[in-house]
Amino acid sequence: MVHFRSAPELAELLGSWSTGQGPLYRKLADALARAVDEGALRTGERLPSERELAGVLATSRATVVGAYEELRSRQLLERRQGSGTRVAARTPTPRADGRVAGGRGTAIFQRLIDGPGPLISLACATEGGAPEVADTLNDVTRYDMTELLADPGYHPRGLPELREAIATYYTQQGLPTCPDEILVTTGAHQALVVVAEVYLRAPSRVVVEAPSWPACLDIFRAADAELVPVGLDDEGIQVPGLAAALAEGAPALLYVMPSHHNPTGILMSPARRRRVAELAAKHGVAILEDNAYTGISYTDEDEPPAPLAAYAPSGAETLTVESLGKAVWGGLRIGWLRGPAEIIERCARRKAFADLGTPIIDQALAARLIPRLGELAARRSAAQRERLEVLERLLKDQLPTWQWRRPDGGASLWVSLPDANADVFAQLALRHGVEVIPGSAMDPTGQHDNCIRVPFTFTPDVLSELVHRLSRAWNELQRHGPSDCDPLRPII
Ligand SMILES: Cc1ncc(COP(=O)(O)O)c(C=O)c1O
């Protein structure tokens, strides 16, 4: 069957194609050629019409005509009478994967691989490490090394003292936990991968929030799962939609982000946690709660709600994922999974298969940091709250028609753009030096295409420059509609 690549899908694949020097049509041709070389575009695949692609890339039609023409002369594309432009025969065919409209982490992963470059990139909502990491590392090397070096160093379940520290951390939050219920992973990301491997056998279904965290949606898709999206309200995943999704087709997992949802920053209320846990238990569906942003909070409540697992009726299967990534440092790559001991045992076998265990020195460091996690998260929350306020002020001032709900926690604003397509806006923003992730890339239905995620993990100077660039791109969209403009000059 011939696969048709829609214009928004192709735009996502092309990433930050319009940066750098040279005419736009040449940069577009180079980006398309790269996609063909790497097998991301397959032999025989049909590309969108010049008009459609120009609309989504916010260029003139002549730019796309020029790029397609150039690639025809390089024999990478061919035009067949009556069936449009296709990738010419020469590349091997990777497996088909065109079922889902949006919610893909392509641009986010690519930005991690490429590094920031000259752009202000909104692909990642993270900042550098807490200074306590350096002090603690000194302590580990000074006091713990003799003992650590006496150990063979292979602990697929995790260093015992770290599992103990994590179990205590949950018990203190009202969720009694023993070390057998903890698996240490290389970041929350690996915990999600391991759970997907254990729970998903094609054809399985996973109920997810819409919007959601696209990297995790990619993990589920890689296991050939069908995604069943459910919307959110101010208290978290919506109950009627969830009840319907759980009742249909025996899903294998429900994936939610109670504390706090990425990208909206919503904190799931205690009442909603209880209701979600009851519904999942009633339908026998395991819950995977991803609390990567727990602790990064802007509400004034003293006691944040305990993990959703604490609200689950007995016998319910709840898996809790968390990490040091947001409150301490992503570079540590320390995350974990909490769940029933027999599930943790199965997950430990997958973890052993993947890497035989997370590096021990990082785990020893984490074991010293976990008892201070509340204090570290509070400090980071205070710093990020100031940045949130700076960003809100700048946006209200320079982009007064943009709208958002103040996040309860997390690292981003989820902004709706009035009467605009965020995919097109993202193309214009790129040419003003900002990599924007459009909402459609975070929603498995491809909806929320009028939204963008704006992280506030930058310094006030960068936030100011960011909003200045965004408002230039916005004014251009408002004044003229999309048009070709000068190549980007590197700025930061
Ligand atoms: C919701 C969510 N889950 C998981 C992760 C991965 O976290 P880690 O860096 O601990 O692997 C992220 C990273 O941004 C995230 O936003």
How would you write the pLDDT of the chain (492 residues) with one tens digit per residue? 567 888 988 998 898 899 888 899 999 999 999 888 877 888 889 999 999 999 999 999 999 999 999 999 888 999 877 778 999 986 444 444 444 467 888 888 888 888 878 899 999 888 899 999 999 999 999 999 999 999 999 999 999 999 999 999 999 999 999 999 999 999 999 999 999 999 999 899 999 999 999 999 999 999 999 999 999 999 999 999 999 999 999 999 999 999 999 999 999 999 999 999 999 999 999 999 999 999 999 998 778 899 999 999 998 999 999 999 999 999 999 999 999 999 999 999 999 999 999 999 999 999 999 999 999 999 999 999 999 999 999 999 999 999 999 999 999 999 999 999 999 999 999 999 999 999 999 999 889 999 999 999 999 999 999 999 999 999 999 987 765 554 444 443
- Residue 257 CA to ligand 1 centre (angstroms): 11
Testing ligand 1's pocket by substitution, the residue of 294, 326, 329, 355 carrying the most ligand atoms inside 8 A of its CB is 326
Ligand 1 centroid – CA 111 distance (Å): 15
Ligand 1 pocket, residues with Cβ under 6 angstroms: 187-189, 213, 257, 262, 290, 292, 323, 325, 330, 335
**Are the beta carbons of 477 and 469 closer than 8 angstroms?**
no
Domain spans of the chain, in order of start = 7-87, 106-128+379-480, 132-374
Give SS3 for 458: coil
Query: How is residue 27 written in tokens?
Result: 């940069």
Ligand 1, pocket-test mutation among 121, 186, 189, most atoms within 8 A of CB? 189
For domain 7-87, the question of CATH label 3.40.50.10860 is answered with no
Instruction: Give this prediction's pTM.
Output: 0.87
Specify the fold of 106-128+379-480.
Aspartate Aminotransferase, domain 1 (3.90.1150)
155 CA to centre of ligand 1 in angstroms = 23
Distance from the alpha carbon of residue 281 to the mean position of ligand 1, in angstroms: 26
**Ligand 1 atom nearest residue 323's Cα:** 10
Query: What is the biggest distance separating any 2 CA atoms in the chain, rounded to whole angstroms?
Result: 74
Ligand 1 atom having least distance to the Cα of 334: 10
Rounded Cα distance between 18 and 24, Å, is 6
Cα of first residue to Cα of last residue in the chain, in angstroms, is 46
- Residues forming a β-bridge with 237: 232
Distance 189 CA to ligand 1 centre (A): 6
Please say whether the structural domain 132-374 has been given the CATH code 3.40.640.10.
yes
